[in-house]
Structure 1
């Protein structure tokens, strides 16, 4: 416990020293990094709560539905929090309602799926802003630091001390390093989160389509015969 407290104190001292050297720009970058980390943790919790990684339930329910047991398939899919499974359950229940056409059911199912995807994409925009703004803020702090360093060099007059310039330069470059250190992990996290949502959107569209169409790989041959490619007539467009 004492070792943990000592490390935490050393980390806090390091952060305070960086703020003192980098000024308000570094303080702002640290605040942005804390905000980005909070958003990423919240999104991970949300993805976990919605069972985003559970792809087996929807596929298992679809197999049951393809086997002809719509009720069991809807029950299996409805028990999962996964958005794809929820969309599948709604599609199966809606398709077997006699008072709704398939087109209306599919439109409503896709609307529900789009709402789920929009919920998963929430707070992506702040991460995009942080990822693009952090390097620019770091560069801005570097420019300000370089201006201050050359002002000190000018004030020194003929008694130029190289330490004045070199010290000012490394302090100025500190903000650029801080900006890049904030931006790079945020970019990686944002791309991963977007990839997860994009894959989920593809799975939704794929599985809903399979509910309202037939599996052509299992379709019977025409009149009990296989199609002969040599007898297939290809006509130009417009005829």
Structure 2
């Protein structure tokens, strides 16, 4: 049985199920590509930044995080390091704000999978009910047990196709949804651990150094107009 024949036998409910399945597959593939890029380089970035910070080379730590801004963990670590001489509380707030933003972006696609998981079984059940109504509408009490009811059994079996299809789509989407949730929970642990370690190193650095250089050297822009400035005289 080909896909076209399966859709024709399943009835009209198969078309929205087909759309949901395509939407689910597209979301799953996009999320797999996203997580594969993150997990391959994440630990290396964290280790390099923390090692540089432990050696009090904050400029190098900032440069490593800046070069890794394509990764969520790089943007997370770069958020406080880009600030010139931040207070410990400002340093912590920058970490928390960056973590919230990055973790929210990692949840992209979850709502789509949740909708597919909820709607697929219902559409499958709807298609089965519609198929049963169509199959049983032509049966008369006097025809029970005769050869005229032979096609009813075939109609019922075809009506159950939508239920099976809806369950397959929902189960597959649910399996990948749980995998992505587990990866997200692992990211929460990594963000919390690396952020706490970086904040601790920074607080230790402040406790030992009173006159510290800027963590990031930003160019100083001059807004005064040289033409309007008057030269200093001896009296001044």
Q: CA deviation at 1:156?
A: 7.4
Aligned counterpart for 1:28 among listed residues 16, 27, 51: 16
The TM-score normalised by the length of structure 1 is 0.74
2:80 alignment partner in structure 1: 91
1:213 alignment partner in structure 2: 200
Indicate the SS of the match to 1:106: helix
Aligned residues: 199
Indicate the SS of the match to 1:68: coil
RMSD, aligned α-carbons: 2.4
Distance 2:40 2:93 in 1: 25
Native 8 Å contact 1:138 1:179 kept in 2 = yes
Aligned counterpart for 2:171 among listed residues 168, 172, 184: 184
Aligned counterpart for 1:39 among listed residues 27, 41, 62: 27
1:132 alignment partner in structure 2: 118
Return 5+ residue gaps in structure 2 as ranges.
203-236
Distance 1:180 1:170 in 2: 16
Native 8 Å contact 2:76 2:102 kept in 1 = no
Judged with a 3 Å threshold, the aligned counterparts in structure 2 of structure 1 residues 156 and 116 are, in CA distance, closer, same or farther, namely farther
Native 8 Å contact 2:11 2:131 kept in 1 = no
After superposition, give the CA deviation of every residue in 1:152-198 in whole Å (9 maximum; x if it has no partner).
Answer: 32387364545223202211111111101111111111112222222
Q: CA deviation at 1:48?
A: 4.7
Return 5+ residue gaps in structure 1 as ranges.
1-12, 216-239
After superposition, give the CA deviation of every residue in 1:35-78 in whole Å (9 maximum; x if it has no partner).
Answer: 111122223334455x3442222123212312332222222232
After superposition, give the CA deviation of every residue in 1:117-144 in whole Å (9 maximum; x if it has no partner).
Answer: 2122122101101012101211121122
Indicate the SS of the match to 2:137: helix
The TM-score normalised by the length of structure 2 is 0.75
After superposition, give the CA deviation of every residue in 1:196-215 in whole Å (9 maximum; x if it has no partner).
Answer: 22221221122111112259
Aligned counterpart for 2:139 among listed residues 148, 153, 159: 153
Native 8 Å contact 1:77 1:85 kept in 2 = yes
- Over alpha carbons, which structure has the higher Rg? 2
Native 8 Å contact 2:49 2:61 kept in 1 = yes
Are residues 1:163 and 2:163 paired? no
Judged with a 3 Å threshold, the aligned counterparts in structure 2 of structure 1 residues 214 and 77 are, in CA distance, closer, same or farther, namely closer
After superposition, give the CA deviation of every residue in 1:81-119 in whole Å (9 maximum; x if it has no partner).
Answer: 32123212333343xx33x32112221222122112212
Distance 1:155 1:125 in 2: 48
Where does 1:94-105 land on structure 2 (aligned, <5 Å)? 94=83, 97-98=84-85, 100-105=86-91
